[in-house]
A and B are shown apart, each in its own frame.
Chain A
Amino acid sequence: MEAFAYVAPSSIDEAVAELAKHAKKGHRAQVLAGGTDLLVQLRGADIEPRILVDIKKVAETNRLHLGKNEIFIGAAIPSAVLNENTELVELLPGLLEAADLIGSTQIQGRATLGGNLCNASPAGDTIPAMIAVGVSCVIIGGKGQREMPVEKFVLGVGRNALKAGEFLVGLKIPRPKSRSADAYMRFIPRTEMDIAVAGCGVSVTLDAKGLCKEARVAIGAVAPTAILVPAAARALIGTTLDDAALAAAAAACSDAASPITDKRGTIDFRRKVVGVLCRRATAIARDRALARKALGV
């Protein structure tokens, strides 16, 4: 690893000031949250920052709030901590499944949703799951705070919308409506410890009769960024989420995919499997939503 400096500001203002200082000098400052991707990249000399700004001591990045209308997840909360919050897991099972799939138990102890998002890997598990439930990124910099949806935040492989001097503080998620549920599935060759070869996040909302009235479907690892697939959502809306609707959504996902062949999978394989995942994840989301409907939540 190349040498760099390390600072751990204890407030948003300090963090913003630290980042601004380096932005002004044109130095590359790298924000550190869980570090599970970053430390590997540093070791491989894939990135060579001048300074690491550890945001884990900033209170806001550790804040978890389950509000009446909105959920806030601080950018530096490890996935394991999120998954120990049973209320959060009940509210957003799909997103939390995705968070739970990132790496081993050890990785879970460090890896964060914010880091997974900022790392902007095409295969990042939580990104399609976030897009499916309509997550907004809360960004802070010298010019104040701004928000943008996840699907706009990720610009390309390893590229995000943060400008020099900005960092991701946390994620805002609309609290799921009644008769709503999400699900995430990914494909890996082993049962654990792999990077997604394809992934699919789905959220559905049923009406009182059990028809799908809203849906969002996002796919990962089959394009340079995770993408929202409106055609898949259209195939689901207005249906009972029966087999035919699921098959149509699956086909839409396969169509929307523009995968590559690499060490993890082939174009054909990814295209086919992302459809399978869409079908299976949608069925899980549907069953969850029906269960909630039955409970009247």
Chain B
Amino acid sequence: MNKIQVITSINHEEVEFLCEPQETLLDVLRETLGRTGTKEGCATGDCGACSVLVDDRLVCSCLVLAAETGGREITTIEGIATEEGLHPIQQKFLDHAALQCGICTPGLIIATKSLLDRHPDPDETTIRYWLAGNLCRCTGYDKIVRAVQDVARDLAGPA
């Protein structure tokens, strides 16, 4: 099997890897590169646990071939925290107890970042539909939605 050489950027760091054509970005992140923060829940694009940003676009990394990612900028959960510490989304998920088992959390945090980058002041319906591709079986979504609302409020600054 001929391996394909890919040079890409993950969390603003240049990364070079070899992959087989059928390997997905998720496979390479988790198995080849050891970035296991991105989770696999279904491998068919139905659960969102493997959400990453490719050139700031929210995608399921299980539905992207690794071979396609040359020259792209990939953001994973490992790249969300800032130099000052946790990203506000991460902090609010903790403050609101918006995770129970935590397996869907990396994907939800990435999806939330993508939401707030585009819609800094989303209403509840917008939040719920934007996050509809991220299954959570533990929380019933209530505390997740509240955490996202709280981040958005903080982003908007004091009223």
Contacts and interface: CB of A to CB of B under 8 A. Distances in A.
A and B touch in their complex, CB below 8 angstroms: yes
B23 to A, nearest CB: 8
B45 A107 contact: yes
A69 interface: no
Interface in A1-50: 1-6, 8, 32, 35-36, 39-40, 42-43
B22 A1 contact: yes
Contacts of A43: 43-44
A203 B49 CA distance: 38
Nearest to B1: A3
A56 B68 contact: yes
B65 A191 contact: no
| Interface size range of chain B in the complex | 20 to 34
B68 A39 contact: no
Given A6-B21, A40-B63, A106 B2 contact: no
Contact of B129 (A35, A106, A191): A191
Contact of B57 (A36, A39, A80): A80
B95 to A, nearest CB: 24
A104 B62 contact: no
Interface in A175-207: 191-193
Nearest to A80: B57
B51 interface: yes
Contacts of A109: 54, 57-59
Nearest to A54: B68
Contacts of A266: none
A193 B68 contact: no
Contacts of A35: 63-65, 68
Nearest to B115: A105
A103 interface: yes
A105 B133 contact: yes
Interface in B128-158: 129-134
B40 to A, nearest CB: 12
Nearest to B70: A8
A59 to B, nearest CB: 16
Interface string B40-61: 0001111010010010011110
Interface in A136-175: none
Contact of B132 (A4, A6, A52, A104): A104
